Structure 1
Amino acid sequence: MENLKIWIRKNGSTAVLTVLFIIILVNKDAKAWLMRQVASTGILNSGISDSKKAQGSSKQASYAGFMLKNEDGNIIDTSALQNKVVFINFWASWCPPCRAEFPSVQKLYDQYKNNPDMVFLTVNLDDNTALGKSYLKEKGFTVPFLVPAGEIPDVLYSGSLPTTVVLDRKGALRLHHTGLADYSKDSFYTQIDELLKQKP
């Protein structure tokens, strides 16, 4: 017993760090918290591209007709969202980076949900949609719960979670970001405001 006390005194910080590391490895929320701290620095963020660099009409045509289904079973056709700024986020409840960025997605949604020129398409990709719904309810998130109602165009999503896309009022692809980011920064709100000011 005395040897254990001596070992703990000599290696206490190592033991604590090992326990914390194990917790982060096995607990999704702990992983998400750590990733959120990194994301809050802004170093992982991607900005909205200049309109001159926006994707051409062929790219726009390639995601026209992307269909989603809401909780009521109603179909949403993204090609009907012309003249609006569209924020699309592909996520899953089992994905720690998705969990890490979701509070910032919720803050962005809260900021713009009453703006008639802004649309949020938060697309759940859980194999079991009940898990995604349960996650939103458990965390108190109120973003729209949507699932694909057909093929997802490659130009929007190529298999990495999370993936975030922003379309401008002309339907041009202005942001395509794979991986964790913080969408609750004032600098991002400013970029969204600029897109909202542009004429369709």
Structure 2
Amino acid sequence: MENLKKWIISNISTLLLTVLFIIVLVNPDAKAWLMRQVASTGILNSSISEPAEKPANTAAYTGLMLNNEDGTFIDSSLLKNKVVFINFWASWCPPCRAEFPSVEKLYNKYKAHPDMVFLIINLDDNPALGKNYLKEKGFTVPFITPAANIPEALYNGSLPTTVVIDKKGEIRLHHTGVADYSKDSFYHEIETLLK
């Protein structure tokens, strides 16, 4: 028994790190918290860039068919001449959970702006899981689901994926993975697109 106490005392930091690792491994909220801490440093963020070459008169959201929470179809013509923030997420995805508080802050800052549209697209196999997650966490972002296949230019299968489209319909940000969208630097970039 005395040897066990000595071993525990000499290995306490290893034991604590092991327990923390197990918690992070099995608890999606703990994993999301850890990812949020890393994302808050800004090292994972990408920034809005100049538009890429593309065929004329072809908006990036062409072919994107979505439904609102009540199941009504979202007319993509409503996106014309708007800055569009698109976030693809699922409730089971720890990186999605990690960045969601920053998405919510961005949404709350710009939701009333007439030239800004938020498409927060849930990709859970069962949409009820996504709705429950938003309700449980108190998030107010719009709950949107795909009504058809998502164009590959916007989403390639990795979660989370965030896309920002400018008023001309051109992709200005395409980021896969966790990021922090509540930084002043990102707000400044959005403000530039809104002008």
Does the Cα contact within 8 Å between 2:60 and 2:171 map onto a contact in 1? no
Relative distance call for 1:90 and 1:58 in structure 2 (3 A) is farther
Does the Cα contact within 8 Å between 1:93 and 1:126 map onto a contact in 2? yes
Q: Which residue of 112, 115, 123 corresponds with 1:114?
A: 112
Unaligned 5+ segments in structure 2 are none
Partner of 2:88: 90
* CA–CA distance in structure 2, aligned partners of residues 34 and 60 of structure 1: 39
Does the Cα contact within 8 Å between 2:161 and 2:174 map onto a contact in 1? yes
Does the Cα contact within 8 Å between 1:64 and 1:79 map onto a contact in 2? no
Partner of 2:23: 23
* CA–CA distance in structure 2, aligned partners of residues 175 and 78 of structure 1: 19
SS, match of residue 41 in structure 1: coil
* CA–CA distance in structure 2, aligned partners of residues 25 and 59 of structure 1: 47
SS, match of residue 20 in structure 1: helix
* CA–CA distance in structure 2, aligned partners of residues 10 and 177 of structure 1: 44
Partner of 1:103: 101
Partner of 2:175: 177
Relative distance call for 1:58 and 1:30 in structure 2 (3 A) is farther
* CA–CA distance in structure 2, aligned partners of residues 141 and 68 of structure 1: 20
Q: Which runs of 4+ in 1 moved over 3 A?
A: 57-63
**Given residue 41 of structure 2, which amino acid in structure 1 is its aligned partner?**
T
| Matched positions, count | 195
Matches within 5 A, 1:115-134: 115-134=113-132
Normalised to the residue count of structure 1, the TM-score between the two structures is 0.93
Q: Deviations over 1:81-122 (max 9, x none)?
A: 111100000000000000000000000001001101100000
Q: Which residue of 170, 175, 190 corresponds with 1:192?
A: 190
Partner of 2:149: 151
Partner of 1:163: 161
**Given residue 193 of structure 2, which amino acid in structure 1 is its aligned partner?**
L
> RMSD of the alignment, in Å?
1.4
* CA–CA distance in structure 1, aligned partners of residues 163 and 69 of structure 2: 21
